[in-house]
């Protein structure tokens, strides 16, 4: 082959190499644009999710505040009703103190007030904690120890009460302990 043919081949191969490089560059540019577009879409989607999460969080905070306010109103109404009922018993006690009567009449009046108060407590779910039997630390408080069958309640210093199934006040008791 002559020199001219070799130059043509070398020129063709260099032109061909440049064209390949240019097509690769164009291909990479297109891929980069595609990746950038996808990145933009994903960024917008992530921002949308973040905005939604912030909105939901703000709504939840508002919900918690609203529930706390409603709970306060319910407690306030319940307390109001309870206090109105207690005032009736208070009025009865005040009338008993102001009455000029014999001791037996006073005792009879106080007994009726006590019955009214006991009924009121029962109507509101308050019941006495039983103290006949064994000591139960979940509803009894031991204030003293005495001799007897281990764990038996010997004496009651102050009655305890349940409100529903919850201990409202523990019974204060003396408990037997065997030696």
Domain boundaries, the chain: 1-124, 126-179
**pLDDT recorded at residue 99:** 87
Q: Considering only residues 161 and 20, tell me which one the structure prediction assigns the higher pLDDT.
A: 161
**pLDDT recorded at residue 66:** 97
DSSP string, the chain: --HHHHHHHHHHHHHHHHHHHHHHHHHHHHHHHHHHHHHHHHHHHHHHHHHHHHHHHHHHHHHHHHHHHHHHHHHHHHHHHHHHHHHHHHHHHHHHHH----HHHHHHHHHHHHHHHHHHHHHTTEEEPP-SSB--TTTEEEEEEESSSTTBEEEEEE--EEETTEEEEPEEEEEE---
**pLDDT recorded at residue 175:** 95
Is-contact 87 101, C-beta < 8 A? Answer: no
Q: Is the pLDDT of residue 76 over 60?
A: yes
Q: Is the pLDDT of residue 7 over 70?
A: no
CATH no. of 1-124: 3.90.20
Confidence grade of residue 12 (pLDDT, cut at 50, 70, 90): low
Q: Is the pLDDT of residue 1 over 70?
A: no
Topology at the third CATH level for domain 126-179? Nucleotide Exchange Factor Grpe; Chain A, domain 2 (2.30.22)
**pLDDT recorded at residue 149:** 87
Where are the alpha helices (H) located in 99-171, listed in sequence order?
A: 103-123
Distance CA(124)–CA(122), nearest Å, equals 5
**E-strand stretches of the chain:** 126-128, 140-146, 153-158, 161-163, 166-169, 171-176
Binning the chain into helix, strand and coil, the percentages to the nearest 5 are: 65, 15, 15
**pLDDT recorded at residue 21:** 85
User: Tens of pLDDT along 86-106?
Assistant: 999 999 999 988 988 898 999
Phi, psi of 123 (to 5 degrees): -60, -30
**pLDDT recorded at residue 15:** 63
Domains 1-124 and 126-179 share a fold: no
High-pLDDT (> 70) share of the chain, %: 90
Q: Is the pLDDT of residue 23 over 70?
A: yes
Q: Is the pLDDT of residue 153 over 80?
A: yes
């Amino acid at each position: 082959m002559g020199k001219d043919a070799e130059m043509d081949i070398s020129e063709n191969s260099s032109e061909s190499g440049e064209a390949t490089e240019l097509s690769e560059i164009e291909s990479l540019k297109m891929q980069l644009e595609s990746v950038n577009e996808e990145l933009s879409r994903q960024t917008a989607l992530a921002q949308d999710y973040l905005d939604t999460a912030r909105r939901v969080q703000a709504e939840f905070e508002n919900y918690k505040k609203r529930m706390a306010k409603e709970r306060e109103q319910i407690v306030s109404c319940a307390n109001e009703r309870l206090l109105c009922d207690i005032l009736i018993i208070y009025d009865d006690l005040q009338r008993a103190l102001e009455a000029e009567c014999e001791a037996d009449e006073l005792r009879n009046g106080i007994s009726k007030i006590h019955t009214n108060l006991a009924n009121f407590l029962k109507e509101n779910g308050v019941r006495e904690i039983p103290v006949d039997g064994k000591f139960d630390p979940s509803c009894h408080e031991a204030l003293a120890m005495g001799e007897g069958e281990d764990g038996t309640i010997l004496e009651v210093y102050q009655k305890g009460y349940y409100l529903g199934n919850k201990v409202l006040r523990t019974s204060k008791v003396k408990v037997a302990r065997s030696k």
